[in-house]
Amino acid sequence: KKVQEARMSYTFDDFLLTPNASYVEPKDIDTKIELGKGIKLNIPVLSAAMDTVTEADLAIAMAQQGGVGVIHRNITLERQVEEVKKVKNAEDLTIRDVVTISQDSTVAEAEAIMRDELISGLPVVEGDEILGIISKRDIRPFLKSEMSTKIKDIMTSDVVTVDEGVSAEEALNIAYDNKVERLPVVRDGKLVGIITIKDILNRSQYPNAARDKDGNFLVAAACGPFDLDRAMALDQAGADIISIDCAHAHNMNVVKFTETIKDNIDAELCVGNIATAEAAEDLISMGVDALKVGIGPGSMCTTRIVAGVGVPQLTAISDVADAAADSGIPVIADGGIRYSGDVAKAIGAGADAVMLGNLLAASLEAPGDIVIMHGKQYKKYRGMGSMGAMTSEYDGGADRYFQGQKSKMNHTKYVPEGIEGAVPYKGTVAEILFQLVGGLKSSMGYCGAKDIKAMQEKANFVRITSSGIKESHPHDLLITNESPNYPTL
Ligand code: RVP
């Protein structure tokens, strides 16, 4: 009976979105979403908390494009905190390790420092005290014959400084008003750094970036389901979202502990993964700020094979989204996204955002070098439940599968739920997201949805057969020039 009465469940390839009458042009489409209080993303995309996907470099690239990266936890707490801080300080305008010079140095010395360090201006100091500033332009007249001229005789001693904590806008105005290129930053009269106009202007390169209220990049960080210390330390370090990272977040001990974590952090709390309406209800009752859906859809995941457990992803998204609808808690569809069309279908089924592992592991900014196999470029990608990840130097991931604290010497004690592999290299995060978001916008145009909420409401699906899938992909020809948004392995 149980078997006969089981519901059908579906995933991305089982459906297509149907075109609707539409006045929406892709260029007018808004892909903004909110993931909890004050967390505004300009594109509905998160990067996976995996050790071959998200560390600071990738998280910075994600935030520059308007998404957010979740720093993985398969590293010591100290290193994870450092990665969070790197993202938060990525656009800190103040260069902290300033190269300085003393007033008794000579033009020759100043010239050598400027050449070696590739900088064009040096604060002149005595201890922490700032006495002046010397630029390339100041030393130029002395370079030919008066190289032994002392810095104190030619420096600008009337230095325009700014206090620590000055905003980018204020600093720019001060620099323009005083016609200077660089501003030493002082705290209680002591030099702590320097700000250059060039760095301020570089910030405007990313108009779509996802930022916090202070203008710094948004960043999320993963912690284990019972790791209160880590959650609190990441919160302190400035993470905007703490993501409880667990293969089965409907384990009731995990659900209960969620409340303890929630009570001890200021950051928004995302919890996952789940795949049912019941799990969503239990977690929502604990006060979580976002839910993450996906049991087994991941490209390197073997949970459905090893444990025989999971829910095909489109059904899981739709069940959780329906259960979360009244609360307004956002839903993140995690795993199984291969093409931009899958992102559109996930949102059409009710998700607010998607989380990507495979697609972003293929980027330049993901950890690890490009490897070449059979003349093609790849990047390594492995499951956090793979043998490699669970037995790595720091096994912060094993408890994701409730398998923490085992002897590293004895691999046979683990039951992996993921594999280790490689994905064809696809370029920068910016290039990958350009295609992905471009495809999503095309879809929203077809569906007549001007924003994410409209897409969730307006999307209609048709079920398709295996012949429908065959017809959907390119067929009856040989691909002679691969498309950046339709890769073949
Ligand atoms: P994908 O984008 O399809 O590669 O899936 C990424 C997701 O897979 C992750 O965000 C995570 O939820 C899940 N994952 C990570 N490791 C494993 C595993 O070892 N089974 N699964």
Annotated binding residue 394: no
Residue 302 lies in a domain: yes
Range of the domain at 149: 107-196
Nearest in space to 69 (alpha carbons), one of 313, 343, 357, 418: 357
**Whether residue 270 lies in the annotated active site:** no
129 forms bridges with which residues in the sheet?
126, 190
Q: From ligand 1's centre to the CA of 483, what distance in Å?
A: 25
Q: Which residue has the higher pLDDT, 445 or 98?
A: 445
Residue 134's nearest CA partner among 118, 161, 114 is: 114
Nearest protein CA to atom 10 of ligand 1, as residue: 48
Domain count within the chain: 2
Displacement of CA 37 from its chain's centroid (Å): 18
pLDDT at residue 410 in the model: 55
- Structural domain contains residue 481: no
Average pLDDT over residues 389-413: 67
- CB count, 10 Å around CB of 197? 16
What average pLDDT score do residues 11-37 get?
Answer: 95
In a domain, 49, yes or no: yes
Q: Is 439 in a helix, a strand, or coil?
A: helix
Residue 179: which CATH number? 3.10.580.10
C-alpha of residue 91 to centroid of ligand 1, in Å = 30
**292 in the same domain as 158:** no
Q: Give the tens place of pLDDT for each residue, 417-474.
A: 999 999 999 999 999 999 999 999 999 999 999 999 999 999 999 999 999 999 999 9
301 classed as catalytic = yes
Distance CA 427, CA 209 (A): 19
What is the mean predicted confidence (pLDDT) over 335-355?
A: 98
In the reported structure, the alpha carbon of residue 423 is separated from the centroid of ligand 1 by a whole-number distance in angstroms of 14
Q: Count, in order, helices (H) and strands (E) of the chain.
A: 18, 20
- Domain assignment present for 2: no
Residue with tokens 């332009």: 137
The active-site residue, picked from 7, 400, 447, 463, is: 400
Whether residues 357 and 432 share a domain: the answer is yes
The ipTM assigned to this model is 0.99
Residue 126 burial by CB count (10 A; 0-12/13-18/19+): exposed, middle or buried?
A: exposed
Residue ranges lining ligand 1, Cβ < 6 Å: 48, 50, 273, 294, 298-301, 303, 334-337, 355-358, 383-386, 417-418
Asked whether residue 465 falls in the same domain as residue 353, the answer is yes
- Predicted confidence (pLDDT) at residue 86 exceeds the cutoff of 90: yes
pTM more than 0.90: no
